[in-house]
Structure 1
Amino acid sequence: MSAAVWEKLKGLAKPTLAELFAADPARLDALATRFELGDEEAASGARFDWSKTHLDAAHIALFEELAEATGFSGRRAALFAGEVVNPTEGRAAEHTAQRGEGKEESVALAQECHHRMAAIVEAIHRGAMGDVKHLIHIGIGGSALGPALAIDALAREGAMVDVHVVSNIDGCALEQVFAACDPQTTMLAIASKTFTTIETMTNAESAIEWLKENGVDDPYGRVVALTAAPEKAMEWGVDETRVLPFAESVGGRYSLWSSIGFPVAMALGWPDFAEMLAGAAAMDRHFRDTDGRANLPLRAAFADQYYTRLRGCQTRAVFAYDERLGLLPDYLQQLEMESNGKSVKADGLPVDGPTAPITWGGVGTDAQHAVFQLLHQGTNLVPVDFIASIVPGHDLDSAHHRILLSNCFAQGAALMAGKASDDPARAYPGDRPSATILLDDVSPATFGALIAFHEHRTFANAVLMGINPFDQFGVELGKEIAREIEKGDTTFDPSTEALLEAAGIG
């Protein structure tokens, strides 16, 4: 049935953005939506503007038909009910339960884990574990990207503890952090779902050695373990009282809300971490309870599918016009490309079209002087998301923020309008799409809602494509070969063998 809907979609006319605005005076009201957080007295939130995309009433109606044909409502209900939505691994995906929205027993377990985490965080802040000024958080993938983004966005000033996130196995990353920390006032957070991840555990061993070499009597007593395998952490040497577990049903790239968020709570304090959870929960309720085009993540997925499947766009760009959100493109790369970078559907059959585009981006206004030439005049059509905040994150002259936002909004307007010229080198074709998310502020609540929006957008895209976004077997093969190289008992292709010999490996 979905194939028939796609055929209808392919047959629709493709008016320009200028034509769409001219034909529909109500277009802005239909596609630019205010999302509210909190009560009326302390209302905050964000504006989600998809009006400068090529979605029109005809396309949206068919995308709503596609959502019905692919069983979107049922898949969404299964997600929130804690049912198996990851069929290849036979698992639920219960990140929403971490925010209080999901299966009752899963929500209760998440709250229990949060109470445990809050107690440890508050005890450390009170000085129960001595003078703690630094926390080195060691993880990789979702165990590092989410915390790094949240801390960079929300804890730039007045952090309760100085947190450093280390993910790279390259020793330079650890050495740089060691140089910035006093071992006598440093704790370690080791984040690994299985507590066997080779990069994380190798870095953890080196961090323990650093503490020993610098006179720390009980280095393992400085460790907090964040894991879904508590017994492995205890075998490694972490005391049970400092193991913060989370459910096996919480995937790595969706784990910021679980015990993996410990370093965020350490930097911000528990009340702000709880506010971040509440903001995400507000987006959860919107996604769960809103149908069709009014559903913000689903509407965004309609546009994503339009550009990948109907316009052949192979990339999607994200530009944060706010220094605090500078790591957001990196975070979204993993969320979207690891989730939806698949070539088979959930039933194991080949997909019948392109899946996830390549997500990339940067920070405005830096990116304007680096990559926007291609966006405006290149031969690739690239849908762009702009993300900005009305309230700045600094106390400098307001001219800084005014110029920043003016540039952000000008880029979207220029991409759409273009500019004719008798000189081909100075002509801009225009009709290039963008969407804008304008936050009231980069607060814990709005940040939580923003990340949850992208999680649900990723899920909605997966449902429309018929794929499973919750496994990631594509990352395993390279790891397996790396382990074979370490063992030194396997022969590889001539190129790889020559590289190994040149590097003195094997």
Structure 2
Amino acid sequence: MPLKSINPTATKAWRELAVHFHEIKDEQMLNWFEQDQQRAENFLIEWEDFIVDFSKNRITQKTLDLLLSLAEEIDLKNAIEKQFKGDYINQTENRAVLHTALRAKEKPKEVAQALAKIKQFSEEIIEGKWKGYTGKQIKTIVNIGVGGSDLGPKMVTNSLAFYQNHLESYFVSNMDGDLVHEVLQKIDMETTLVIVVSKSFGTKETITNAKTVKKYFEENGCTDLEKHFVAVSANTEKAIEFGIKSTQIFPMWDWVGGRFSLWSPVGLAIACCIGYKNFEQLLEGAQQMDEHFRNEDFDKNIPVILALLSIWYNNFFETETEAVVPYSHYLQNFVPYLQQGIMESNGKSVSRSGEKISYQTGTIIWGEPGSNSQHAFFQLFHQGTKIIPTDFIGFKKSLHQDKFHHNQLMANFFAQTEALLKGKSKAEVEEELQTLSKEEQEKILPYKLVSGNKPTNTILIEKLNPKTLGSLIAMYEHKLFVQGIIWNIFSYDQWGVELGKQLASGILDQIESRKIGENQDSSTRNLLKKYLS
């Protein structure tokens, strides 16, 4: 059975939320904390190694109740079951969406077989049993992919660098030749393994980069390419044609979207660089979040609550953007990874019944690690004209056990959410300026006021490790799914991405033939002329 198509704005809950929004939109969160001494506990979820505090949001219990009613009216529970059971919820591509099966306790046979192959292969690489063409052990992994075939493996490998073994890793994605040539200058060909990741084995960026690397190996004397190239692909024939041995091709499945594929053989580079046991822990952490999402009541369900809050801000406060600020340098690639998952999934304007949507969908995701971000864009948070709901992600324990640094980092972590809540009042500024003359006080006072009342979620995790990272990633996967269900869109197709690819192919032909087509718009035609001149 297909997903139901329900216009959220036509529901009773949505209409009541619209009325409720106008009643409380100018209310101060600090007043709610004073009125309800239990607010901090009532708007908090503790699960496994996670504490999620959503009390610093512009919501009351009535807001939350109405949002939960919206989830019920949309029949979210039924949609969740359809995904987990493998119904073809990606209806425009006639596919199931089963990335959760990749980390389930009882995995499909083909998944279990693929994981066994990953385990054997990664252990051969790590233990030095796999040799290059000159008999030397592999010391470097180069992953060639784009989109989910790059962002996921790169993000996880970099996020878990603390757990990385002796292998060095590089990720090549951009078609810009400067990137691939920079990498080629850094590696030792004799001790390098190249993983080419492409479902179709025809993705332009990936195959262009793979051909360049292959040519480099051939021109520099590699006499046995099979010992240096493996593939992750659904197109075995094309991978073999490229020169990769059939036994060194790992599978991909059409029921796993690229942006959710790091749990699959696409994560081969992860398993090699952090070891298969850590890769298993990553899967286990995601699986635990899957169970929480599938079975927990919505009022204590982390992904559901985060998604409902996002709907509240995007569709009623009209905020449009959300920030994610992880207080860990290891998570510097986390936000770019989320950008693909969230914006590619929910950047849609047609409903599940094929009609143009009249309300806002999707959110623009951005952010950088703290505390660096505090010295970059937090000024906009505190005194700008926009409301930017923000997720703060922090960890109780430092990986290198440096309490001096970690306590300072976490002091900033907690202080920023408090500052965004409280702001700075006129009385507080006047007290700060009391040593100045009255004229000087009046002149500077307006510039030092901070309004506060800015919404944040605090996600406090015991420690960054493969298991908690797996849970964190899965949490955002399920959040975007809930958003898409409520917005009545198909989150798992990506037809908009295809248009640029199609046009690029035609333009490349024109560039190479130096014959500009008459069907180009005048701006593009003029730019091509200047490029070719």
Specify the TM-score bucket, using the shorter chain as the normaliser: over 0.9
Structure 2 residue 491 is matched with structure 1 residue 490: no
Given the alignment, which residue of 485, 499, 514 partners 1:463? 485
Matches within 5 A, 1:58-207: 58-100=62-104, 107-130=108-131, 131-156=137-162, 158-207=164-213
Identity of aligned residues (%): 36
CA RMSD of aligned residues (A): 1.5
* Superposed CA offset, 1:219-264 (max 9, x none): 2431111122223222322111101102210000000100000000
**Distance between the aligned counterparts of 1:346 and 1:35, measured in 2?**
33
CA–CA distance in 2 between the matches of 1:179 and 1:440? 40
What's the CA shift for 1:158? 4.4
**Count, aligned residues:** 493
Q: Deviations over 1:297-316 (max 9, x none)?
A: 00001100010011010110
One-letter code of the match for 1:11?
V
In the alignment, the residues of structure 1 paired with residue 166 and residue 446 of structure 2 have an alpha-carbon distance, to the nearest angstrom, of 55
**2:378 matched to 1:350?**
no
Contact 2:163 2:274 in 1 (8 A): no
How far apart in 2 are the matches of 1:230 and 1:160? 30
Deviations 1:336-393 (A, max 9, x none): 1000011111221122311111101111111111111110000011001111111113
CA contact (8 A) 1:32 1:47 kept: yes
Which residue among 6, 9, 12 is the counterpart of 2:14? 6
| Partner residue of 1:394 out of 400, 413, 421 | 400
TM-score under structure 1 length normalisation: 0.95
Cα distance in 2 between the residues matched to 1:56 and 1:110: 44
In the other structure, the counterpart of 1:265 is 271
CA deviations 1:454-489 (Å, max 9, x no partner) are 000010111111111100111111111111101226
Equivalent residue for 2:465, pick from 412, 425, 443 = 443
Partner of 2:441: none
Assess if the C-alpha contact under 8 Å between 1:160 and 1:268 holds in 2: no
The one-letter code sitting in structure 1 at the alignment partner of 2:331 is L
Cα offset for 1:19? 2.2
Kept in 2, the 8 Å contact 1:160–1:266? The answer is no
Match of 2:52 in 1: 48
Question: Partner of 2:438 in structure 1?
Answer: none
Which residue is equivalent to 2:496?
A: 474
| Structure 1 residue runs of 4 or more that deviate by more than 4 Å after TM superposition | none
SS in 2 for 1:238: coil
In structure 2, do the counterparts of structure 1 residues 493 and 175 end up closer, same or farther at CA, with 3 Å as the change threshold? same
Shift of 1:439: 1.3
Which digits, 9 at most, give the CA deviation of each residue in 1:413-446, with x for residues without a partner? 0001011136110000010000111111110000
* Distance (Å, rounded) in 1 between the aligned partners of 2:342 and 2:388: 16
CA–CA distance in structure 2, aligned partners of residues 326 and 77 of structure 1: 33
Structure 1 residue runs without a partner (length 5+) = 37-44
Q: Distance in 2 between matches of 1:398 and 1:25?
A: 32
Q: Distance in 2 between matches of 1:249 and 1:463?
A: 18
Gaps spanning 5+ residues in structure 2: where? 1-5, 132-136, 431-444, 511-515
Aligned with 1:414 (options 409, 412, 419): 419
CA contact (8 A) 1:143 1:256 kept: yes
2:446 equivalent to 1:424: yes
- The structural deviation recorded for 1:201 is 0.3
Deviation at 1:447?
A: 0.3
- The equivalent residue for 2:287 is 281
> Structure 2 counterpart of 1:277, which letter?
L
- 92-101 or 444-453: bigger deviation: 92-101
SS at match of 2:367: strand
**Larger mean Cα displacement after TM superposition, 401-410 or 120-129:** 120-129
In structure 2, what is the equivalent of residue 23 of structure 1? Answer: 35
Distance in 2 (alpha carbons) for counterparts of 1:349 and 1:25: 46
Q: Does 1:362 align with 2:368?
A: yes
SS in structure 2 opposite 1:363?
coil
CA displacement 1:102-152 (0-9 Å, x = unmatched):
xx6x63321121111111111222333210000100000111111111011
Q: Which moved more, 1:20-29 or 1:400-409?
A: 20-29
Once the two structures are TM-superposed, the CA of residue 23 in structure 1 deviates from its matched residue by 2.4
The aligned amino acid for 2:16 is: K
Of residues 152-161 and 358-367 in structure 1, the stretch that sits farther from structure 2 once superposed is 152-161
SS at match of 2:109: helix
Distance 1:48 1:18 in 2: 19
Q: CA deviation at 1:217?
A: 0.8
For residues 459 and 234 of structure 2, the distance between their equivalents in structure 1, rounded to whole angstroms, comes to 34
- Largest Rg, 1 or 2: 2
TM-aligned CA deviation for residue 274 of structure 1: 0.3
Offset, 1:83: 0.8
Superposed CA offset, 1:266-323 (max 9, x none) = 0011000001000000000000111221111000011000100110101101111100
CA contact (8 A) 1:324 1:393 kept: no
Counterpart residue identity of residue 526, structure 2: A
